[in-house]
Amino acid sequence: MASSWLELACSFAVIFCLKATQAEWNTNDYLKREHTLVKPYQGSGMSLPLWDFTGSTMVTNSYVRLTSDHQSLQGAIWNSVPCRSNSWELHVQFKVHGSGKNLFGDGFAIWYVKDRMQTGSVFGSKDYFVGLVVFLDTYSNHNGPHNHQHPYISAMINNGSLHYDHDRDGTHTQVAGCEAQFRNKDHDTYVAIRYHNHELKVSIDIENKNGWKECFSVKGIKIPTGYYFGASATTGQLADNHDIISMKMYELDDDVEEYTGLPTSDTMEAPREHIEDEPKGAFMLRNMSGWKLLIIIILSFIGLGILKVETHPPKLIVVAILVTWRIYASCLQE
């Protein structure tokens, strides 16, 4: 009899603990449906409740395709309701895929910005924006010492004064980033953007493990309320399908006062001088001193001298020497 009462008490204790755990964090209680896009997409086709889309965006029963796997496209989808939550977390299920094996692009961006429905050169949306953007970049435009592998996820905070340098993959204005192989996966892929107590944290679930892996986190971020969520994508000479499956926004409890100023980051890198890409062959030349290059040219002349004069008349050799010296002088000026 005593054992039965003990088992019953243990059962009540287990049930109590489970209930307490569920009450501590139940995302359904915090889901903000006015900022959420999930299947089935009501109004699929020409319109979506609470969401607007531009450009090449196409809404189907299974996904919202920002761009198809064709060149020179750009599309976007924007929430029509401004966010009034001081802290929030946005979960985006997406799929980037296409027929390209080695060359593909360009990627897509997830926005929380002041101005919505503004087309432009930054992954299909406006440059010099005000707010936060997280880039999921699939193609490397940057050839230089600050290069990194792609696909690459990075974040940028802008108060409206910064230019996104697409040719440098935005490395001069990003607050943080990480490499993430999210393209052409057979399983679901997700990214989570969390803004809580002035900290930005981006996590990913791209390995089919049903769990978040931190990409990066940055403290000292301040973003006001009243901005809009959105996603945009673009293709150029290279292309891919950029699909949004769902966007779920959760309101988070916090203990900070509402911020009303312009977006700012304590760790934002200062804009650097735009340096043009080196000409083809310049990488090899800058790794050789002038004397080394001259020695190579002299050895080439010796090789020419070994050949018979009948095969290469003296006048032709003189012209070759003058042309080669001209090329050498031009290389030094570079």
Q: Is the model's pLDDT at 79 over the cut of 80?
A: yes
Q: What CATH class has 26-265?
A: mainly beta
**CB of 320 within 8 A of CB of 304?**
yes
Specify whether the CB–CB gap between 263 and 117 falls below 8 A: no
pLDDT, residue 322, reads 62
Q: In whole angstroms, how large is the CA radius of gyration of the chain?
A: 28
Pair 128, 160: CB distance under 8 Å: yes
Question: How many angstroms separate the CA atoms of 160 and 264, rounded?
Answer: 11
pLDDT at residue 272 tops 60: no
Transcribe 223-291 into DSSP letters. --SS-EEEEEEE-SSS--EEEEEEEEEEE----SPPP-S--EETTPPPPPPP-PPPPTTHHHHHTS-HH
Q: What percent of the chain has pLDDT over 90?
A: 57
Task: Tell which phi-psi region holds residue 108, choosing left (phi > 0), alpha (psi between -120 and 50) or beta.
Answer: beta
Q: What is the pLDDT of residue 182?
A: 93
Average pLDDT of span 77-92: 97
Beta strand spans in 106-188 (E) = 107-113, 130-137, 152-159, 176-179
CB-hemisphere CA count at 13 Å for 267?
A: 15
Give CA–CA dist 164/234, Å, rounded: 15
Q: Over 60: is that where the pLDDT of 145 sits?
A: no
Q: Which pLDDT score is estimated for 287?
A: 40
Q: Where are the domains of the chain?
A: 26-265, 282-333
* DSSP code per residue over 110-122: EEEESS-S---SB
For the ranges 15-24, 100-109, 211-220, 318-327, the maximum mean pLDDT occurs at: 211-220
Mean pLDDT of 113-121: 96
Q: Is the pLDDT of residue 307 over 60?
A: no
Supply the pLDDT for residue 149.
77
Q: Is the pLDDT of residue 94 over 90?
A: yes
**pLDDT tens digit string along 177-194?**
999 999 999 999 999 999
> What are 192-223's pLDDT values in tens digits?
999 999 999 999 999 999 999 999 999 999 99
Q: Are strands 107-113 and 264-265 parallel, antiparallel or unpaired?
A: unpaired
Q: Which of 129, 119, 122, 121 minimizes the C-alpha distance to 223?
A: 129
pLDDT digits (tens, 9 = 90+) for 223-250: 999 999 999 999 999 999 999 999 999 9
pLDDT of residue 171: 72
In the numeric block, the tokens 């997280």 are attached to: 134
Residue of 96, 118, 117 whose CA lies nearest to 106: 96
If you ran DSSP here, which 8-state letter would residue 183 be given? B
Exposure string (b/e) for 231-251, b if CB count within 10 Å is 16 or more? bbbbbeeebbbbbbbbbbbbb
Task: Identify the top-confidence range among 20-34, 46-60, 268-282, 303-317.
Answer: 46-60
d(CA 236, CA 130): 25
